[in-house]
Amino acid sequence: MLSEVSGQLNVDNDPVLLSKEYFSLKTVTGASYTTESNYTHFLYDDDTAGGAISVTLPAPSGHNNFSQHKKIGSSGDIIINCPNGSTIDGTGSYTLDIQYEAIGIYSDGSNYFIQ
């Protein structure tokens, strides 16, 4: 089991300490979330949230490096939204609708792209 507790990554309940500059994990369990730039990996638990989760990305100019987004539940969609005026591969949002589906995204400072 992969989990995050107080900035520490736990794998099968054994802690693994990693620098936030290289890898940091955030598990999202609420229906709405605005991503934080100090995390590089996001797990969206739509089962705990009770359905769909709406995610808002930061402005592309504030998106550091590369981020991974993964749906781990099976009860709803994960809708990743861009802030006004930006896109993900030309569209305003991207939906993860299959359990364990994931995408990696990066920014050129103006828009987002799927890797």
pLDDT band for 63, please (50, 70, 90 cuts): confident
DSSP string, 24-84: -EEEE-SSEEE--TT-SEEEE-HHHHTS-EEEEPPPGGG--SEEEEEE--SSS-EEEEPPT
Judge whether residue 9 has pLDDT over 80. no
- Domains of the chain and CATH, by start: 2-114 (2.60.120)
Neighbours of 65 (CB within 10 A): 10
pLDDT band for 66, please (50, 70, 90 cuts): confident
3-state secondary structure 78-114: EEEECCCCCCECCECEEEECCCCCEEEEEECCCCEEE
Average pLDDT of the residues in 13-33: 72
Judge whether residue 13 has pLDDT over 60. no
- In single-letter form, the type of residue at position 54 comes to S
Most confident by average pLDDT, 3-17, 23-37, 49-63, 91-105: 91-105
Specify the pTM: 0.79
